[in-house]
Amino acid sequence: MEQPKISLDLILANIASEAEKAQETVTKASEVLLGPLESNLAMTPYDVVYEEDRVKLKHYRTPGEITMKTPLLVTYALINRETMLDLQPDRSVVQTFLNSGVDLYMIDWGYPTRKDRFLTIDDHVNGYMDNIVEFIREETGAPKINLMGICMGGTFCVIYSALHPEKIKNLITTVTPTNFDTDKGLLHIWMRAIDTDKMINAFGNLPGDVMNIGFLLLNPARLMIDKYVGFFENMGSKSFVENFVRMEKWIFDSPDVPGETFRQFASDFYKKNLLIQNKLEIGGRHVDLKNITMPLLNFYGMYDHLVPPEACGMLTKCVGSTDTEDITLDTGHIGIYVSSKCQREFAPKIVRWLRERDGEAKFPAAYTVDTAATAQPVMDALAVAAGKADEKDKAGPRPRAKRVARASGRKQSAAKRQTVKPSLTQIIQDTI
């Protein structure tokens, strides 16, 4: 049977049409790439209220009333930056929390230097984290706080909650590795085979650039080819280009990891899998997961190539809490925080879950203030809660007074912390 032939006119018409489309794409791309781009990230206002060495504590400014009784502390991983949770206003976990009335704090681990090489997991968990938790409890008057951890930061939160259960009311873990005895992720195979001693002896701290190369090699076709092909196909869309640039800025903003912390994490977790077996010791103390008796919400991604479901799903079965919940989302390691679908499921679910266990806003009688400037917002909030505030005061929140506690030393007690009160000049500048 003779095969039908394609008309030469049809072929030429198709070539002309494709050439015209290509010309339009190039023109639009030129306008986008040569024009102004909004690529800033982490633009939600906050105050740095506590500093210790390289570590800072962010306290975000709630746009309305705080309706969640217990403050929430978010602990990010030492790898990459916490700005992932606030990439842009319409895809911001931070904004969702604030708009829901959460009193939100977040740890900024900063950028380690050579002097941080010998810091261990104990220094981060029982040092920095414990000092920050004590600071928040002292500032807010809350006997316990809500704690949320992300990736390696979630592992730190699990350890902290097991060692200090009396300070944590609710625990939330997201893409948090706790079971390292799996071959589902290439990262787990590599980490068990890697000679961490040679790496740390050579570099001191593990360089962020070395980690970035490793992460790219975990999925080279997707992360080094397909991603940029997608960019060229969509570079005529300004919103796509802006989001792409934001993500690239975040990916390659990679602090080093303190050498001894990395060495210990690779040995005790990836190679020995001590945490999930209840054999881990931190700072000479046994980390018993049965001590985690507070409510636990555990998120992970079905298609996460860094922390696969097999690395996350065992936690709720090993803790002592009877109030646990696992939630699996159809996404990867980063999509759980930035994809539009997960934005509708992830943060709102956390807010609902916390509210069911937390109650409404309550300002403790022991709440202390240092100046009339800081006392007024508290009095206004109490008046609103009692239904006595006038319409003018309800119109919007007053600016929060900036108070920064600076600490030196790894485990400084709360009694020794110094609160830096703003000078008259600073008060005037902040007001302006």
Amino acid at 334: I
β-sheet bridge partners, residue 257: 206
From the candidates 151, 157, 312, 342, which is the catalytic residue? Answer: 151
Residue 15 belongs to a domain: no
Rounded to an integer, the average pLDDT of 183-199 is: 91
12 domain residue, yes or no: no
Residue 6: predicted pLDDT: 66
Q: What is the mean pLDDT of residues 311-327?
A: 96
In a domain, 198, yes or no: no
Domain extent for 81: 46-184+272-358
Reduce the DSSP state of residue 175 to 3 states and report it. coil
Amino acid 380: pLDDT: 43
- Across the beta sheet with 46-52, the strand order is 324-329, 296-301, 168-174, 145-150, 72-75, 104-108, 55-60, 46-52, 404-407, 418-420
* pLDDT reading at 3 higher than 80: no
Q: How many domains does the chain have?
A: 1
* Cβ–Cβ under 8 Å, residues 11 and 212: no
pLDDT at 39: 86
Residue 142 within any structural domain of the chain: yes
227-251 exposure pattern, b = at least 16 Cβ within 10 A, e = fewer: beeeeeebbbebeebbbbbbbeebb
Q: Return the CATH number at 130.
A: 3.40.50.1820
The model's pTM: 0.79
Q: Give the highest mean pLDDT range of 10-24, 178-192, 355-369.
A: 178-192
Alpha helices in 194-308 (DSSP H): 196-203, 208-218, 220, 227-234, 238-251, 259-265
Q: Does 13 fall in a domain?
A: no
The answer to whether position 88 is within a domain reads yes
How does pLDDT run across 30-69, given as a tens digit for each residue?
888 888 888 888 899 999 999 999 999 999 998 889 999 8
**Residue 377, pLDDT score:** 42
| Average pLDDT over all residues of the chain | 83
The pLDDT of residue 414 is: 37
Contacts of 230 (CB under 8 A, 6+ apart): none
Q: Who's near 56: CB < 8 A, 6+ residues apart?
A: 48, 50, 107, 108, 110
The reply to whether 314 falls in a domain is yes
Q: Output the CA angle 112-117-123, nearest 5 degrees.
A: 85
Name the residue with tokens 């602990």: 75
| 359 — pLDDT class (breaks 50, 70, 90) | low
Q: Does residue 151 have an active-site annotation?
A: yes
Mean pLDDT of 282-288: 96
For residue 32, is it within any domain? no
pLDDT at position 395 over 80: no
